[in-house]
Amino acid sequence: MQFSAIAKSFLPAVLPLLLLAVVLTLPVSALALTVRAGLEQNPPLSYLDAQGQPTGLLVELLDHVAAREGWTVVYRADTFDRCLEKLRNDDLDLMVTIAPSRERAELYDFNKVNIVSNWGQLYAVPGSDIESYFDLEGKKIAVMRKDTHHRTFRAMLENFGIRADYLEVDNFDQVFTALQERQAEAGVVGRFYALSAEATYAVAATPIIFNPIEVHYAVRKGTNGNLLLAIDRELTDLKSEPHSLYYQVLDRWFGGLGKEGVPHWVMPAVLAGALLLVLLGVFVLLLRRQVESRTRHLEREIAERSRAEGALRESEENYRELVESANAIILRLDPHGMTITFVNDFGVRFFGFPREELVGRSILETIVPRQESGGRDLAGLMGELSQHPEDHLINENENLCKNGERVWISWRNRPIRDARGVLVGLLSVGQDITERKKAEAARRLYDRAKDDFISTAAHELRTPLTSMIGYADLLREDLEHGRFTPEEKSEFTRTICAKGEVLSRIIDDLLDISRIQRGMPLPLHCQPEDPAVLVGQTVRQFEMTSPQHRFLLDLAEVLPAVISCDRDRVTQVLENLLSNAVKYSPPGKIITTSVAVDGDKVRITVSDEGIGMTPEQLDHVFEKFYRADTTDTAVGGLGLGMNIARQIVESHGGAIQVTSTPGVGTRASFTLPVC
């Protein structure tokens, strides 16, 4: 009875304190609240599954928080950029799965507790040779609109001066679909998405990873702060318990990411003792919570600092690997004296110098000659580059290898300035363009040869045409006045016919070279022919038309009775060789034509005692439009005959060769198969 009386007297004073202690130990729940949450398709972080249900790591965590806080979450699925637009327009209360950035912080507020760390990775079509950023020059890259990885990746390429085309899509699924359907050659996705989806698509991972980020929730700037506070409170509690839902969800979605820990020590919930100790218990509980909260804050600070340091080291390693593995020459130069302070492994291999012979030495007279082969002053160019680098962001010049070989490099130069704007270095990235320069030089030679050909063709066509018109005019006058004898008129007619045959041969050559240029085979009409008769008739024709030269016909004692060939085409080859011998041999010299057996072929050879050719001229003898002498006093010709002759001989299954010695003469021979 006495105890009961004491209890009754203390109860009114103690009951409020007990209620306060209970309230402090319960979670802070909001009034019933409907939260409109934006959901992008970004598995495994957040997405709609095959049944159209919201799921993913951040969805499960948000559902847990909502259950604890008494919220009702309504997920509204859309593309990432449209979700952000709806959040700004107050059509959404919360965005699931977003990485903070400086630009986004101006529009949105983020919860403070990091849910998980992610990073970007570049994927390519299977079989691609993309190994570094420099392999992306001119490539089409699929990216997600408004994605932070997309923006960071594009900025990195622009900093390196790498040009690429971008295909913007709504989500990472569409990025992988674009790769699979070959609409793009490379694609940027988040690593967690890639882990869950790369086996489903025909894509291949590249070594290019970048942009470590944290994944958070977000609300419109200055609104719904209570949502973020509740989310941070629940996440803090979950992450402090080693076997909480947070680590279970991590293990379920990613596997192996959960933490091992010791069983949680639970404070006794019921305090026995005197009523006077209740106040002390409440005070201890509050103090303990403050200590634990501060401890967790310090642990998070240390963990975040460790992650930042690790991300910095990883970034530095990635940059170092990028520079060292780049398929390009990368130099860093001190503008004072243009001294090389860094050269990557590719540059060392390319130029063939040991690294110690480059680093610390001037770029001049190591890998840059003082003067180009064409006479340009490179010493002056390097001086301009060191003084005014912005005027030479791109330059092409000759460079020098250790073995003395000269190569052409296209350089992209970027000035490096300190905080005060003082030039402290130059970063130069070079690509070998030697083959391109050779192709440009060859093209110039080809264009010059083509121009020479057009000029020569006009002359060659005009010469016989002028004669034909002149003799035709004489014959027309004779019809009116009868001034010429029958013999003279007959000579006029023969000349007109001869010049007409010259024009016909020129036109035939032009038609033949047109067929060859289009890749069409020359038409052949092969039939059995006696090689001795065919060659003899052609030589006798030249004996009559070129009496100023001596012609010898050397027939082997044993020759096949017939060969299978196109008589007109073989005669065309032989006439071309004999015509060249006549053109380039002084009057009175001997021109020898021989026919002999060479294995299972017949070899026909034309030798002269003419001016001959140099080795350089001989290298070009079968090229289209090539003429050894292009001066105004040179003998006539279009420079097509030898090219056509080779095509005819090779079409018969034979081969043609030319040897020559300046001042001694030329020997041209070709073979034809025996029937």
Strand partners, 428: 331, 413
Note the pLDDT of residue 489: 80
What pLDDT, on a 0 to 100 scale, did the predictor assign at position 510? 72
Distance CA 417, CA 672 (A): 72
Tokens of 480: 């009116």
Using an 8 Å Cβ cutoff, are 71 and 184 in contact? no
Weakly modelled stretches of the chain, pLDDT under 70: 1-32, 255-278, 280-281, 308-326, 452-453, 455-464, 467, 498, 502, 509, 513, 625-638, 675
Domain boundaries, the chain: 33-265, 329-432, 435-520, 524-675
- The CATH class for the domain spanning 329-432 reads alpha beta
Distance CA 392, CA 414 (A): 9
**Integer Cα distance of 158 and 452 in angstroms:** 45
Residues 524-675, CATH architecture: 2-Layer Sandwich (3.30)
Give burial (CB, 10 Å; 0-12/13-18/19+) of 243.
Answer: middle
Assign domain 435-520 to a CATH class.
Answer: mainly alpha
What's the pLDDT at 20?
44
Distance CA 579, CA 192 (A): 77
Q: Which residue has the tokens 């003279």?
A: 488
Rg (CA), the chain: 45
Q: What is the pLDDT of residue 325?
A: 59
φ, ψ for residue 70 (rounded to 5)? Answer: 80, 25
Read off the pLDDT of residues 69-96 as tens digits, 9 standing for 90 and up. 999 999 999 999 999 999 999 999 999 9
Query: Is there a contact between 118 and 148 (Cβ–Cβ < 8 Å)?
Result: no
Cα torsion through 22, 27, 31, 37, rounded to 10: 180
Environment class of 526 (CB within 10 Å of its CB; exposed 0-12, middle 13-18, buried 19+): middle
Rounded to 5 degrees, φ, ψ at 503 are -60, -40
The CATH code belonging to domain 33-265 is 3.40.190.10
Please say whether the beta carbons of 153 and 210 come within 8 A. yes
In whole angstroms, give the CA distance from residue 399 to residue 394.
Answer: 15
Contacts 24+ apart (CB under 8 A), 23-32: 24/282, 24/285, 24/286, 25/285, 27/68, 27/69, 28/230, 28/233, 29/68, 29/69, 29/70, 30/69, 30/70, 30/71, 30/226, 30/230, 31/70, 32/70, 32/71, 32/72
Amino acid at 664: V
* Helix 225-240 × helix 57-69 angle, to 10°: 110
pLDDT at residue 3, as a whole number: 41
CA 171 to chain centre: 25
Residue 266 is classified by DSSP as: P
Q: What is the pLDDT of residue 5?
A: 47
Give me the pLDDT at residue 114, please: 93
Residue 441 belongs to what H/E stretch?
Answer: helix 434-481
> Could you tell me which residues come within 8 angstroms of residue 164 by beta carbon, excluding any fewer than 6 positions away?
136, 137, 138, 139, 140, 141, 157
